Structure 1
Amino acid sequence: MRIGYPCVNESLPCTSTSTFRLASYSEERLVQAVSNNLACLQNILEYNVAHGLLFFRMGSGLVPFGSHPINTFPWQTHFAAELRALGDYIKAHNLRVSFHPDQFVVLNSPDPGIVERSIQELVYQGSLLDLMGLDSTMKLQIHAGGLYGDMESALARWIATYHRLPDAVKARLVVENDDRLYSLRNCLRLHEAVGVPILFDNLHHECLNHGEPMAEALRMAFATWHPTRDGVPMMDYSAQSVGERKGKHTASLDEGLFREFLTHLHGHDADIMLEIKDKEASAHRACAIMHDIGLLVRAASPTVSS
């Protein structure tokens, strides 16, 4: 198992998602922002390796306006060496990375323009992973989308859009159960239709379910992952913030609740992304707990040529 956190490392004085306003777009600004973002991402990955945090969700804004028509700069070739070096580092140290495209990515929207922009965003983010030379176990995580008053039609539109995706995107796409509209059971229908793996979110399942116990829900979701094509199942972990709206994440890891959750895994392997506000601070504590009970994967030692 690996433990991870999303997008931002609060211990480091940089961000890997620096951007600027669309109105001030220029190729010079773009090159500077991408250079800074990739350098910071390298720093974050090195920090993670040093601390045994081997799962990281990269920010969608590595390349500002990466899927926007205004961005015609050939960043793919300009930054080819830097992206390949990042991928080599990830592979050498047994890291796993992913993206979670923004909420505007909605494959089942009745608006064709939203669907087209969603596809282009997935192509952009998938291309970053491709340019890093990473395999299909590095995923693009999305929600199923909206209901628009009719679950059956919404599911049908999602499936129809999925069939339009490039194969390189299909190979990386996973769908997450949410806390209001698409339960694990609903996501299983998408898996049954097209084979998309389900990235399980435990708090969302607690908020929206059909009576499946946590251990059974985990088993059902993990069974949708192909062991070689998809790799070890990925999941999101968080806990309900007391006194807040239903589904709001805690600010920090509740170690007792996390230990209790791990008992539901029953020997299943999983890479766990912490959806918790204090990022790597909680990840360190979760890592220590998993080390104590013998569940943690360690960083690989890179091969040294003699």
Structure 2
Amino acid sequence: MTLVRLGYVAMSMELKNASPSQTMTFTQFQKIADREAAIRKLERIARSNLTNYIAITKTYCCIRNPLLPINFKTDSTSISSGAFGLGFYHANKRFIKGTYIQEHQLRVDFHPDHFVLLNTPNKDVFHQSILTLKMHYLILKEMKIDPTHRCVIHVGGKYMDKEKSLEQFIETWMDVPTGIQKLIMLENDDTSFTLEDTLYLCQKLNIPLVFDYHHHLALHQDSNWQRQWDSIVQSWEHSPLPIKMHISSPKSEKSFRHHADYIDSKLFFDFLHEIRGSIPQIDCMIEAKQKDKALFKLMEEIKNRDDVEVVDGSSFNLK
């Protein structure tokens, strides 16, 4: 049997007034003449975001979903990630130090936005990307969580020449600090870098691949991903974590690349039936507009299936 654990981006559609993504742009920060007041406002935003993260985690991960692999989504286009870091020492210490997370076996991953580019030829952009990743590394260390394979990024920009861009990733990878290298997982995207492209880098640089099934269908609907599955699994051989994938559903045929509100369980199980028994466990991160509601709705549908054995509110075994 294969154990399937479901998770979602740490935002809630059911908890009211609990947004963990309040932001303050650099422009807004600069407009506050009193620098001390600006920093205090930044720290208030950080404390609020962290408090809401904790509320979401406690309410939905530990009561309804005790083994929920959770993803703290961060946005490098604003100071929300920075605010998260600055607010550490003003937040719930037990949560931040990782005890709460370890007690409830939560998987904590980060997913910086697309402005983190390791294959950029622009040295300033590369330097800023490393700083952003370093901040995530330090956050995990502060939480007493092993940073190994906790941060999902895309390959980056295509820059008019995909082959050259792939080689640029390899070249700049040599300039990435070792600790940051170990932090990284790579995800195939839906417009530029296919599963095969991403696997090429993962195999060459020993990086785990987070398979995004929806992205693959959007970019390569006629491609036989099953032929690559063993290679995907092998990319996780040296990781202390179970294999991770992203699951989402097309909004419509016309807007195929856009995420739907909920998960199409048939599409999901088409995938699961192909990989059943090939691995002992897989963590599936739901990317749906309705966040936690999408997980709850999917689990309600799963409970009525005869090819699964439900473990808890977010986990099940494939028979």
Work out whether the TM-score is over 0.5: yes
1:59: which partner in 2? Answer: 73
| Structure 1 residue 193, shift from structure 2 partner | 1.8
For the pair 1:258 / 2:256, whether they are aligned, the reply is: no
For the pair 1:33 / 2:45, whether they are aligned, the reply is: yes
Q: Secondary structure at the match of 2:156?
A: coil
| Structure 1 residue 238, shift from structure 2 partner | 1.3
Residue deviations 1:258-279, cap 9 Å, x none?
A: 2333212222221001111111
The one of 13, 19, 23 aligned to 1:15 = 19
Residue identity opposite 1:50 in structure 2: I
1:179: which partner in 2? Answer: 190
| Structure 1 residue 44, shift from structure 2 partner | 0.9
Supply the distance in 1 between the matched residues of 2:93 and 2:174 (Cα, whole angstroms): 32
Residue deviations 1:109-150, cap 9 Å, x none?
A: 122111111111111122211111112455110110112122
5 Å-filtered alignment, 1:95-110, equals 95-110=106-121
1:274: which partner in 2? Answer: 286
Asked if 2 retains the 8 angstrom alpha-carbon contact of 1:107 and 1:162, the reply is: yes
Cα distance change, pair 298–246 in 1 and its aligned pair in 2 (3 A): closer
Supply the distance in 2 between the matched residues of 1:67 and 1:79 (Cα, whole angstroms): 15
Supply the distance in 2 between the matched residues of 1:215 and 1:149 (Cα, whole angstroms): 29
Supply the distance in 2 between the matched residues of 1:258 and 1:104 (Cα, whole angstroms): 29
Asked if 1 retains the 8 angstrom alpha-carbon contact of 2:115 and 2:129, the reply is: yes
Residue deviations 1:58-101, cap 9 Å, x none?
A: 12159x63777xx8x98377348637545211111011111110
- Percent of aligned positions that are identical: 26
| Structure 1 residue 216, shift from structure 2 partner | 3.5
Residue identity opposite 2:309 in structure 1: G
Structure 1 residue runs without a partner (length 5+): 300-306
Residue identity opposite 1:286 in structure 2: L
Residue identity opposite 1:223 in structure 2: Q
Asked if 1 retains the 8 angstrom alpha-carbon contact of 2:9 and 2:71, the reply is: yes
Asked if 2 retains the 8 angstrom alpha-carbon contact of 1:6 and 1:275, the reply is: yes
| Structure 1 residue 153, shift from structure 2 partner | 2.0
Asked if 2 retains the 8 angstrom alpha-carbon contact of 1:3 and 1:287, the reply is: no
TM-score normalized with structure 1 length? 0.85
Supply the distance in 2 between the matched residues of 1:294 and 1:138 (Cα, whole angstroms): 29
Determine which structure has the larger strand proportion and give its number. Answer: 2
Asked if 1 retains the 8 angstrom alpha-carbon contact of 2:245 and 2:283, the reply is: yes
Q: Secondary structure at the match of 1:91?
A: helix
For the pair 1:133 / 2:144, whether they are aligned, the reply is: yes
The one of 3, 8, 13 aligned to 2:6 = 3
Q: Secondary structure at the match of 1:44?
A: helix
Q: Secondary structure at the match of 2:270?
A: helix
Q: CA RMSD in A?
A: 2.9
5 Å-filtered alignment, 1:125-204, equals 125-136=136-147, 139-204=150-215
Cα distance change, pair 159–210 in 1 and its aligned pair in 2 (3 A): farther
Residue identity opposite 2:63 in structure 1: A
Asked if 1 retains the 8 angstrom alpha-carbon contact of 2:64 and 2:313, the reply is: no
TM-score normalized with structure 2 length? 0.82
Supply the distance in 1 between the matched residues of 2:115 and 2:100 (Cα, whole angstroms): 31
Asked if 2 retains the 8 angstrom alpha-carbon contact of 1:76 and 1:131, the reply is: no
Q: Secondary structure at the match of 2:19?
A: coil
Supply the distance in 1 between the matched residues of 2:85 and 2:148 (Cα, whole angstroms): 26
Supply the distance in 2 between the matched residues of 1:159 and 1:210 (Cα, whole angstroms): 27
Residue identity opposite 1:283 in structure 2: L
Supply the distance in 1 between the matched residues of 2:91 and 2:182 (Cα, whole angstroms): 22
2:309: which partner in 1? Answer: 294
Residue identity opposite 1:39 in structure 2: T
| Structure 1 residue 183, shift from structure 2 partner | 0.8
| Structure 1 residue 288, shift from structure 2 partner | 4.2
Residue identity opposite 1:10 in structure 2: M
Supply the distance in 1 between the matched residues of 2:263 and 2:85 (Cα, whole angstroms): 42
